[in-house]
Amino acid sequence: MSVKVAFEDLGLIDYKEAWDYQEKIFAEYLKIKAENRDLPKEKQIEIEGNVIFCEHPHVYTLGKSGEQNNLLIADEFLKKINATYYKINRGGDITYHGPGQIVGYPIIDLERFNLQVKQYIANLEQSIILTLDEFGIKSERLNGATGVWLDTTIPGKTRKICAIGVKASRFITMHGFAFNVNTNLEYFNYINPCGFVDKGVTSMEKELGQKQDFIQVKDILKSKMAKVFDMHF
């Protein structure tokens, strides 16, 4: 049976503000989960879950296992390009968020979906792959790396179109994905994206040669996530 989840589109929002909002929901769900352990099944509170879409002003984020030196610029230059930087508590290395990029933050209880973390990440990837299919862009997974990629078998041509980095505790998730739609790719020149020095980054706009209807892409992605996860909003 399809699982109901709350959906919010926060539009353009400061990274720290969105992070704090995620943390608040995440903490509430962890508290419910802990309390449910001591209650009989019929008295347990169901965790509805949230899927959040948003965009951020220019920002670089470094995951807990990431290398600081994958940020290739100093603080003064960050100010010059109107960007901020945060070290955060998700998995993965460094990535960039900015306008024209769909950032997705699912805060869900994986046990409601009978998912382990690895399959959850695969489902996020599949949702992006199916969305790109709708626009005639063939994408795939890359062995040994998370995210969604193009031309994975062509050395020197492999490029990432969606980065994924998540945190999970007691099967509650936070953080998520960053999907390049109309993203200014110049900002990736200042980092080793996700720690890779031999792979590129791309966007739907770059692949298709023109800006895409951002709202349309979001709507399609939302429907693909609903299908892949068997959820409804």
**Can you say how many angstroms the Cα of residue 10 is from the centroid of all Cα atoms in its chain?**
14
CA dist 11 and 56 (Å) reads: 8
What is the amino acid identity at position 86? Y
DSSP string, 29-84: HHHHHHHHTTS-GGGPPP---EEEEEE-SSEEEE-TT--GGGB-S-HHHHHHTT-E
CA dist 17 and 226 (Å) reads: 26
CA dist 140 and 151 (Å) reads: 8
Q: Which residues contact 146 (CB under 8 A, 6 or more apart)?
A: 92, 121, 125, 163, 164, 165, 194
Query: Which is the catalytic residue, given 71, 168, 194, 231?
Result: 194
CA dist 225 and 183 (Å) reads: 21
**Can you say how many angstroms the Cα of residue 188 is from the centroid of all Cα atoms in its chain?**
16
Contact 180, 101 (CB under 8 A): yes
Residue 162 annotated among the catalytic residues of the structure: no
> Among all residues, which ones are annotated catalytic?
194
